[in-house]
Structures are given as structure tokens and as C-alpha cells.
Structure 1
Amino acid sequence: MREKAQKYRESQKSTLVDGTTPQYKCNECRDEDGYFVKRPVKQTVKGELVEVMMDHWHICDCVAKRKNQEQTDALFQSSKITWAFQKRTFDSFDLSYLADPVRAAYRKARTYHSRFADIRTTPNNGICLLGKPGSGKTHLLTAISNALLSEGVEVLYAPFVQCIEEMKNDMHKEEINKARIEKMQKVEVLFIDDLFKPPNTPSAYEIRKMYEVINYRYMEQMPIMISSERKISELVDIDEALGSRINEMCRDFRVELDGGRELNYRMREGA
């Protein structure tokens, strides 16, 4: 009888008055953020110290998980990575029909991510993928970004052309541009996409603004990720101080993709 009564009480807890079964985000605490459990405690009873069972409120594990998810969602939102780009992962990078240089870039990107915790405070904590357009450079660096964001690391996606246009449009708004530069300088990980994109020759203004950002991160040993159609020699030709800093920061994780259309990731079969 006692067992039947217990089962009846449990069934009543999980059934609504209309006879339907409620749906909970967390079945453990039923969305109450916690639940009571019996816990032994010491109490003095008639002058004697005895152990009794007392109800204790236990905070459910879902509270910490929800908090972590909210923090991760906030990081993704502030990263400026679009919803479509958030789907770009290492697993979604199609290695079929790709040339060896692209596969080498893939391996380098995966190695960078796996070693990030160990190298993030070292002088060589950057990665740059340079060369052939369409070879998957942005996809691979976005995959690193998404993986780091999921692990609680702050990343800012800064597409070069868009960033420069915004700064030029707001040249008369000094405080706004100052805030933009400071964000790029101080974010945990900065991802500059399509740096000095051809065919235009970078202006003195563009070089100066990128130098402000890159030199700061170089001096503070802060991680940077760069994609560019220009090779390291071209970046050095544009500005030797800037190019040589990129080379030093990314020395262990620099890939130059040199070749023809066979390197174009977007031209692969089935794309």
C-alpha cells in the first residue's frame, strides 16, 4: 500500500489538471532551479549529539549550465560573427577534392586551436592564412573563432573593408572611432579578415589604423588571426614595420596558399 501511495503522489506531481504532462527545460528540478534533498546533520537532542535527516535545498546543475550558455551567447553576439558564419566549423570544412596547400592550412588551423591555451600568452600566438582567394581562409579562421567562443574566449570578427569604411564615414566622430580601435586592440582574440584586400593600394590612413591595432597587440602579446590575399612579402612592402610584426606574431602558424583555381574552396565539386 505504501509503495502504491508513493507512486500515486509522484504521478500527481507530473500531471496537470487538464490531464497533460508538463514539459520542462530541466526534468531534474522541473524548472525550479533546485530541489529539496535529505541530508544528515548533527543536532543536540536532550543534551546528546545525534544525527538526523533534514531537508536541504540543492541548487540544480542546470543553473550553472544556463549561466554558461548565457555567457557563451553573449560572447557570440559581441563577436560580430553572423549566424551563418557561426555554422562554419572544422567538421563542416569539406576536404574533398582539395589541393595539398588547403589541407595544410586546415591542419595548421586545427593545431592552432588545440594549442591555443598553451601559446596565447607567448610572442608567437597569432595565425595568418595568406594568398589565393576562395581557398577557405575565412572558413578556417572562423572555425577557430567559433571553437574559442564556445570555450568562453572573447573573439572579435573585424572584416577589414567594412571596418575601414565605417571609420572613414565617422572620421568626424573621434570618440566613436577611438572606441572601435580600442575594442580591436584589447579584445582577447582579434580576427582581421581580408587585410588590405586587393586590388586597391592601401591608403596612409588604412595603414596607420591597422598599425595602431596590430602594434598594440604585438607589444601586449595578444593573439591575432589574419586572413589576406596578400603574401607576407607584400604586407612587408606595404609597411615594413606592420608586415614584420605580423610575420613575427604568426611565425609558427603562417600558411601561404600559392597556386591556381585548384585551391579555390568555393569551386569544389558540390559547392
Structure 2
Amino acid sequence: MLRHTFVHLPGLGPSTEKRLWAAGIHTWDDFLDAKTPPLGSVKVPMWRDELAASKERLAAGDADYFGVRLPPAENWRLFFDFREHLACVDIETDGTPKNEVTAVSLYDGIDTVRTYAHGKNLHDFADDILEKKVLVTFNGRCFDAPVLKSHLGATLPKAHIDLRNVLTGIGIKGGLKKCELHYGVDRGDLTGADGYFAVVLWREYVKTADPALMETLLAYNAADVLALPVLLAHAVNDLLEQTPFADRYRLDIPRPGVNPHVPDPRVLRRLAWAFSRK
């Protein structure tokens, strides 16, 4: 989709992009090869230069270049060219104003989930994230990313698909669990658990050092990232319907990946009250 994208150009918005598509200017090359300017604008020469630079940066695999130029709700367009370089990320914190990080999950969107726990391997995340090019989160621009930068010193990709921005753009609002429910994502034994449940798990773990509590916390956190590619695929397909390219790029909806952690039934029974807290 990036090669069909023009909204990353300075001063060119969605309505102008749609005019280009309607005029048969579907790709960067179409624009660059046009014998007459496809738009009556003094910015056309600048846009030609920007598109030539865009071709170079895409060939170089520079996701950050596009991440800082695309509007936040349009970063989904990065998916097709960088699907093998995704970092689906979610964090849990201690529920205090300090936002001490208790757990982090990192999923490549395909088959590998890495989890990080406070007091164990938490700071390994800052090294592992450097391997990735596109960050995928839910509400991460407002919460996860700033906390990871300030608390773990992590250098995150500038290319960031925040699904809260993307889904809001197609009229699907609410928290992660509500969006999962909209698309039929099943969390199994963790259905009904929310962020407060994760806070309770951490506080109980601090008191008891019971490894079953940490295992359940990591299972809950991993479930968050495993759902992100499912929501992303649904959102991308919905957004493609607003373009001339839906038939070319429509995605199969993946199943959530395998959770490397298993919530402890004993813990779930004991803390069931936290599931229903509103």
C-alpha cells in the first residue's frame, strides 16, 4: 500500500489522494511518469522530489521515514512492506502514579512471543526491540511507548501502528477488550480479565513471590499482544474498502498465536473478583 500512498507528502491530504486515485494515478511511478502534472498545484515539483526520495527510502527498508510522515491513523499502510518486521507490544504496570513496569510482551505477529518480567529479564526488552522496524500497539502512543522510553530507556521504532487510532478512524471505539469483542476474539480462561486484574496479580506476587501469579500475569499480558494482529487484519480490510486496492491486498484473518504462558486455574479462582471489577 505504501506505493499507492500520497498522504505522507507535505500538504497533500486524503481528499487529494482520492482525486489522484480517481484520475488513474495509483502509484508513485504513475505520478512521476505523468507527462503533465496530475494536479494543478505549485507543490507538484516538491511532491515529485518527495516521491523520488520515498522510493529510495522504501528500497532501503526505512520504515521510520514513513512513520514520521504518515498521519497516525494511516500508519496501517506500513503493514504490507514491513510485515516481517513487526513488534506487537503491550505492557503492564503496578497501577501507581509511578507506572512501574511489571511485564512486557513482544510478538512478531507470526510465531514468536517474548515476555519480560520485573525483577527478571525486563531490561532485555530494550535490546530486543532494536531488531524491529514497526511498532504495533493499542493506545501505545499515549501510554506504552512513553513509559517504555522513560522507565526502560528503550529506543522504539518511529513507525508506529497504534490500533486505537486506526480503529477509531473506522468508527470502532473503546478499549482493547471491547474491540476484541467486536471482532470475536476469544481469550479463553482469561475472558473478562482487564488491566486491574493485572495490577492485582502483581501486588499479590510482590507479597507472596508465588510463581503461579507471575505466570498468570505473563499469560494475561501475552494475550494482549496475540490479539493485535487479528485486530490489525480486520482494520486493514475495512480500510482497504475505502481505496481502489481492496481486491489486491485483502488479508486473511489470522487466528491468535499460541500463548507461551498458561494462567493458573487456582489463581484465577482465587482472584475471580478482579475479573468483574468495573
Tell me if TM exceeds 0.5: no
TM-score, normalised to structure 2's length?
Answer: 0.28
- Rg larger in structure: 1
The structure with higher relative contact order (CA 8 Å, sep 6+) is: 1
The structure whose residues are more often strand, as a share, is 1
